[in-house]
Structure 1
């Protein structure tokens, strides 16, 4: 599977969208961030991940407008949510698939959520990684702001930094090919407009209408999106499940490809979480025990911070570790598990 055909769909506003379809099994649409589906096949880790996923899933990859194999005219106009939804509609209409699962990845998480909310009959399940319903939250970390400032200054340097410092693809030849995929994904002016439009994308109000089961995955370093942000998303969705993956590399299918592939494949095909996808257990530290005790007493994060003399973000970090260690999905689940422990049977 080294030479997958690029097909072309036409969006309702006459923009051409390039996509690929391969594999066998239930369909999973891997939605794009800044992408170049042709160049991404040259990244060894991504090539292997595509092949592994395609053993049990029909994979659909596509480049959003302005990127990769899709229409890259400088006058594309709107690059906001409605434009991204038109791209997805175009691909699905062209494939003829009536119902699919969606893998929202970073920038495309809000698009996946909005599509599921507005088209419940077309979405089987959601897998969400690295994004938030309000995209400006994902762009707040200082490291991300510093990276985005490079777009105007040096497009090549931005691509290199995005591949290594941002996404952790630092092993040769992985880093080299990932940087090349970023560099050839689009142009600096389109990327600048793309990120500017992203600041205004907010689908928070649509979360209650998402009926598809959703698996929210998290693997991030502390300088990027906090685990608590992803956890809140899972708790807000009507049928959301949160899994914090081991490791700190902020991407899927690189640090532990076999586990990631198995987790995504099992969820898309059956809706089940494999053992590899269940949070790990472990002994709580004294501080984590204090935080959990105050949580069970009904204190808010701010109240816990005040009582313990620590910052609110430190409380959130402790809670993230507590949830992972005891296997809780969120605040209420953690309290229930603690009460069950205190009063068994």
Structure 2
């Protein structure tokens, strides 16, 4: 896809944004620093958002102070972020839309959804946390911005290693260069310190929008426990756990991550046997399961001939298959685990879908974990 960058006037200066795809609007709130042009040149980043753009009008933008947006910025508060977001929404004429935020953008998206429940149809928060102060001890929160200010070249490489641990040198090098092109050393440090100051723990329980919280299990930048806590604080939220250590959602298993987001947004799913397997080393995408207030225990559904499904009994084997789907395994991985052929597992999945009256694998995962399906 080809992106066209445009600009929207805001009270604090012009903001650059890009629109791809068609369909219901999906507004993406960026994390720490971004650059619409350079990030679109990253094949993994582009593939992730192109996948979302197949069924949605995807709007991405650079926050004030970085990327292609106005580089002059003096206000580093949640209020300033929300003011710019509201101005962009007004410029685009959006009335009802899905909202997707990453890192500190997830906190901004959550804060907006909490105060504008009638505007937000669905909320997706990836790789974020309730309190920025939980990201690191006080001495680290002081030393990292200080390093960025003192030596942006070295600081950008340190942050690239945190965001992309174990990645090839060309990947971390490209990300380091993107950071330096996206923001000055002072701006990058100020935005990082803003993330450390953000706190939305008190707002999360007030959210009344269907919410998916996604997080990387092995993330060095934002530990998985912080994402799990965030999901637990949002009533009825679902949690999707992705394998891998790289922080960006597109970095490992981007196709599987995009499929999870699209399923949550209500896109028409492919049949289970045709669904693409996750890509990338160790990339498994666990189906989202409710974890917030009012959600039932996440204990596995009982296995045995006497257990009953929504519309009829599942066999013991079908319960095993459903449980492994909830663990994020593909049909091929389920087959290997149970010593079955892939074709047999395909048949089991089809029977489960028919008996439960569902179409998506994520719905099977929800049922296997909580014993019931969410209201449609």
2:232 paired residue among 230, 235, 259? 235
Structure 2: 5+ residue runs without aligned partners? 276-285, 309-376
Structure 1 counterpart of 2:368: none
| Structure-1 separation of matches of 2:240 and 2:181 | 33
- 1:9 is displaced (CA, Å) by 1.1
Does the 8 Å CA contact 2:236/2:290 hold for their aligned counterparts? no
Measured after TM superposition, the shift of residue 77 of structure 1 is: 2.0
Tell me, which stretches of 5 or more residues in structure 1 are unaligned? 277-323
Kept after mapping to 1: 8 A contact 2:157/2:176: yes
**Structure 1 residues 5, 331: CA separation in 2 closer, same or farther (over 3 Å shift)?**
closer
Of residues 43-52 and 64-73 in structure 1, the stretch that sits farther from structure 2 once superposed is 43-52
1:337 aligns with 2:299: yes
Q: Contact (CA 8 Å) 1:52, 1:261: kept in 2 or not?
A: yes
Provide TM-score, normalisation by structure 1: 0.75
Q: CA RMSD in A?
A: 3.3
| Cα distance change on mapping 1:211 and 1:229 into 2, 3 Å | same
Going from structure 1 to structure 2, the CA distance change for 1:332 and 1:229 (only over 3 Å counts) comes to farther
Partner of 2:63 in structure 1?
64
Matched with 1:211 is 208
Q: Distance in 1 between matches of 2:294 and 2:129?
A: 21
Q: CA–CA distance in 2 between the matches of 1:84 and 1:169?
A: 33
Alignment of 1:144-293 (within 5 A): 147-168=144-165, 170-171=167-168, 173-221=170-218, 223-270=220-267
- Over 3 Å counting, the alpha-carbon distance change for 1:111 and 1:226 in structure 2 is same
CA distance in 1, matches of 2:229, 2:30: 23
Candidates 103, 108, 119, aligned match of 1:106? 103
Query: How many residues in Structure 1 have an aligned counterpart in Structure 2?
Result: 294
Determine whether 1:124 maps to 2:121. yes
In the alignment, the residues of structure 2 paired with residue 336 and residue 151 of structure 1 have an alpha-carbon distance, to the nearest angstrom, of 42
Check 1:188–1:112 CA distance in 2 against 1; reply closer, same or farther (3 A cut). Answer: same
Displacement of 1:335 in angstroms is 5.4
Q: Does the residue aligned with 1:205 lie in a helix, a strand or coil?
A: coil
Contact persistence 1:163–1:170 (CA under 8 A): no
Structure 2 CA distance for aligned equivalents of residues 328 and 121 of structure 1: 22
